[in-house]
């Protein structure tokens, strides 16, 4: 198992324990353990294999009992305690805990007191006004729960791209080394980089002859993948598995001459492929997963590679992330298909936290991590004082941190290191409207992030008043995670994005694409709208640890889906160009 999968299992154990009313300290131990595992820089499977479970206790916050549970997950791919807890909780109740505004404790209440055991029953109870009658709920909570039911239903059907990627990488590693495999690629929405994935598709080139022995060897290896719950189906060339998590993976074996056509077809999207087929027909051709053929269907003209398929239709090879039939065909016809941004284009990271608030590393440790990843600058942007649960900074503590940053920059310069640390702050936009710190303090900063953490259920007019006020503030550089969503867990707050984008264009401010895979905020559609309006996007990690910097790749993937180039992203610029380009 990957660290991410182990962390997810521990988090669900915590949910199940909390649902059952277990000791809060025990629940907290599993939640903290999940966080520690997710942040670990080395594979815990490797740690256990080389040094045993006892080595896990060297991780801060991981005791003997939790280390044994992690080791069991790492070595067995399952946890007996987890399975026992799941058996004790009705399956439908697990979905209740995904509803925004509910959580394990409130899910237990509606289950025990109202007999609710499914999302449909929960919806009915809310619509009947029964939920608001429970102690600790109320009408507003009931409305929030009702609004989140559809979100919870979708969350149960799809997983985040980052979680799908962890499975894909393990699967590719598992399949590699088999001589029968000539080429292999994941396809579908995963390959297009969609922020959530419903299932996975794996295509395998087994050679021209489609030798049955080779196909059987590929399928046998596929069936041995760790974590398989059942083989749904196995045919001559296709096989489907269901994982313990419920995720379905489909394998398709294809001949070399058709591999490119199959990869294009199964990558999609459906809308993109409809346009492809229409353009083929206009040229007297037919295109399907087996290749491109003349209209009579007898003569194949292309199919071995994706590029051949598109060239046969007079089209360029579209990056998979653009294949949604939005603007890619018009751009291709105009000769303006963009060179999409790549991870290596990023030169700085402008949103991160340290141990001064809720981060887990010092300024110097974050600098070292950024330099290791080839970055040229960072902004230290700890929380402002309104975020009390993160021990946010008041003016005095912030200025003390900035003095520390001055010292760090002087040290870097004296060592001949071409790296700069910007003095920043993630300053809350207060519920009443003003910024959380005085104007004279913000004026001293190099980089001011304005964010909205509280009052997210306010009416649209109030939300917009707060956001537009921050955009107009002379010291603010950027609006962070502008819609406040958490994928599958929290819907966006009520924000008019066109108005916000227009205000940023007017005042010369940036919008953030927060690369945390739980956020990816802005989404691809809004990023494209910002690009069209000339508003610079900043791809930020929002890192709370050195390892947190690695999420930048998820933000880049989202930016590619929006059609962004390096020129559309502010932090691809050198530091001097960045500071002259953006407001603040």
Residue 115 buriedness (CB in 10 A; 0-12 / 13-18 / 19+)? exposed
Q: Are residues 381 and 296 in the same domain?
A: no
Where is mean pLDDT largest: 32-36, 207-211, 422-426? 422-426
- C-alpha angle 349-1-199 in degrees, rounded to nearest 5: 80
Residue 275 buriedness (CB in 10 A; 0-12 / 13-18 / 19+)? middle
**For residue 185, is it within any domain?**
yes
**Which tokens sit at 242?**
């269901």
Please check the confidence at residue 484 and state whether its pLDDT lies above 80.
yes
Tell me the average pLDDT across 555-574: 98
- Please give the pLDDT value at position 156: 60
Tell me the average pLDDT across 299-321: 96
Distance of CA 54 to the CA centre of its chain: 32
- Please give the pLDDT value at position 150: 74
**For residue 423, is it within any domain?**
yes
Tell me the average pLDDT across 445-460: 94
**For residue 111, is it within any domain?**
yes
Please check the confidence at residue 341 and state whether its pLDDT lies above 80.
yes
Q: Are residues 165 and 194 in the same domain?
A: yes
Give which of 111, 123, 108, 129 is closest to 153, Cα–Cα: 123
Binning pLDDT at 50, 70 and 90, where does residue 584 land? Answer: very low
- Please give the pLDDT value at position 500: 97
Binning pLDDT at 50, 70 and 90, where does residue 491 land? Answer: confident
Place of tokens 């230290």: 380
Q: Are residues 294 and 379 in the same domain?
A: no
- Check: CB of residue 432 under 8 Å from CB of residue 119: no
The CA distance from 338 to 525, in Å, is 16
Helix pair 161-175, 552-561: axis angle to 10 deg = 100
Distance of CA 282 to the CA centre of its chain: 39
The CA distance from 565 to 100, in Å, is 35
Tell me the average pLDDT across 268-295: 94
**For residue 338, is it within any domain?**
no
**For residue 259, is it within any domain?**
yes
Residue 383 is classified by DSSP as B
Q: Are residues 321 and 437 in the same domain?
A: no
Tell me the residue range of the domain where 131 lies: 3-155
Output the pTM of the full model. 0.81
Q: How many domains does the chain have?
A: 3
Q: Are residues 374 and 497 in the same domain?
A: yes
Give which of 64, 92, 1, 4 is closest to 40, Cα–Cα: 4
**For residue 9, is it within any domain?**
yes
Q: Are residues 178 and 321 in the same domain?
A: yes
pLDDT digits 0-9 by tens, 58-75: 877 788 888 888 888 888
Q: Are residues 351 and 329 in the same domain?
A: no
Which of 155, 171, 189 terminates a domain? The answer is 155
Which of 284, 312, 333 terminates a domain? The answer is 333
Looking at residue 76, which CATH number applies to its domain?
1.10.150.110
Looking at residue 570, which CATH number applies to its domain?
3.20.20.140
- Check: CB of residue 263 under 8 Å from CB of residue 257: no
Q: Are residues 315 and 386 in the same domain?
A: no
Binning pLDDT at 50, 70 and 90, where does residue 512 land? Answer: very high
- Please give the pLDDT value at position 149: 82
Binning pLDDT at 50, 70 and 90, where does residue 1 land? Answer: low
Q: Are residues 481 and 355 in the same domain?
A: yes
**For residue 484, is it within any domain?**
yes
Q: Are residues 425 and 385 in the same domain?
A: yes
Please check the confidence at residue 255 and state whether its pLDDT lies above 50.
yes
The radius of gyration of the chain from alpha carbons, rounded to an integer in Å, stands at 26
Please check the confidence at residue 518 and state whether its pLDDT lies above 90.
yes
The CA distance from 54 to 65, in Å, is 10
For 73, the 3-state DSSP assignment is helix
**For residue 417, is it within any domain?**
yes
Q: Are residues 454 and 563 in the same domain?
A: yes
Which of 310, 333, 356 terminates a domain? The answer is 333
pLDDT digits 0-9 by tens, 366-385: 999 999 999 999 999 999 99
Report the percentage of the chain scoring pLDDT > 70. Answer: 98
Q: Are residues 253 and 317 in the same domain?
A: yes
């Amino acid at each position: 198992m990957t660290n991410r999968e182990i962390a997810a299992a521990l988090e669900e154990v915590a949910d199940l324990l909390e649902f059952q009313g277990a000791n809060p300290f025990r629940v907290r131990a599993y939640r903290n353990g999940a966080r520690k595992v997710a942040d670990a820089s080395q594979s815990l499977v490797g740690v256990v294999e080389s040094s045993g479970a006892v080595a896990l206790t060297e991780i801060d916050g991981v005791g003997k009992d939790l280390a044994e549970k992690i080791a069991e997950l790492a070595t067995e791919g399952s946890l007996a305690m987890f399975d026992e807890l799941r058996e004790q909780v009705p399956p439908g109740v697990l979905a209740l805990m995904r509803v925004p505004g509910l959580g394990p404790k409130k899910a237990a209440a509606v289950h025990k007191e109202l007999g609710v055991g499914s999302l449909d029953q929960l919806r009915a109870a809310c619509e009947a006004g029964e939920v608001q009658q429970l102690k600790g709920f109320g009408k507003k909570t009931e409305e929030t729960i009702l609004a989140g039911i559809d979100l919870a239903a979708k969350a149960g059907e799809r997983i985040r791209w980052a979680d799908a990627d962890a499975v894909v990488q393990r699967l590719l590693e598992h399949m590699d080394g088999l001589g029968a495999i000539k080429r292999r690629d994941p396809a579908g929405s995963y390959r297009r980089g969609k922020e959530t994935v419903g299932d996975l598709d794996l295509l395998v080139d087994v050679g021209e002859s489609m030798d049955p022995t080779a196909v059987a060897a590929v399928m046998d290896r596929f069936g041995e993948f760790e974590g398989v719950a059942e083989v749904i189906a196995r045919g001559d060339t296709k096989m489907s598995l269901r994982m313990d998590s419920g995720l379905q993976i489909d394998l398709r074996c294809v001949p070399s001459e058709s591999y490119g056509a199959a990869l294009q077809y199964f990558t999609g999207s459906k809308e993109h492929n409809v346009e492809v087929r229409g353009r083929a027909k206009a040229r007297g051709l037919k295109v399907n997963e087996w290749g491109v053929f003349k209209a009579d269907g007898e003569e194949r003209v292309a199919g071995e590679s994706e590029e051949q398929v598109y060239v046969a239709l007079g089209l360029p090879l579209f990056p998979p992330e653009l294949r949604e039939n939005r603007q890619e065909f018009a751009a291709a016809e105009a000769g303006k298909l963009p060179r999409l941004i790549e991870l290596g284009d990023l030169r700085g990271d402008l949103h991160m936290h340290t141990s001064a608030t809720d981060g887990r590393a010092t300024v110097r440790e974050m600098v070292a991590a950024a330099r290791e990843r080839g970055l040229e600058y960072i902004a230290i942007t700890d929380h402002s004082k309104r975020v009390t649960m993160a021990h946010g900074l008041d003016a005095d503590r912030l200025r003390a941190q900035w003095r520390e940053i001055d010292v760090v920059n002087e040290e870097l310069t004296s060592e001949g290191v071409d790296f700069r640390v910007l003095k920043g702050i993630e300053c809350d936009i207060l519920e009443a409207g003003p910024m959380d710190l005085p104007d004279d303090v913000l004026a001293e900063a190099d980089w001011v992030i304005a964010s909205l953490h509280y009052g997210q259920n306010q009416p649209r007019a109030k939300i917009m008043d707060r956001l537009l006020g921050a955009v107009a503030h002379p010291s603010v550089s950027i609006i962070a995670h502008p819609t406040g969503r958490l994928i599958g867990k929290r819907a966006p707050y009520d924000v008019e994005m066109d108005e916000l984008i227009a205000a940023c264009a007017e005042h010369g401010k940036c919008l953030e694409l927060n690369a945390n895979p739980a956020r990816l905020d802005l989404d691809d559609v809004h990023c494209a709208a910002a690009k069209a309006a000339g508003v610079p996007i900043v791809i930020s990690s929002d890192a709370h640890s050195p390892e947190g910097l690695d999420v930048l790749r998820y933000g880049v993937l989202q930016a590619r889906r929006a059609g962004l180039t390096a020129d559309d992203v502010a932090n691809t610029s050198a530091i001097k160009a960045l500071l002259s380009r953006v407001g603040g």
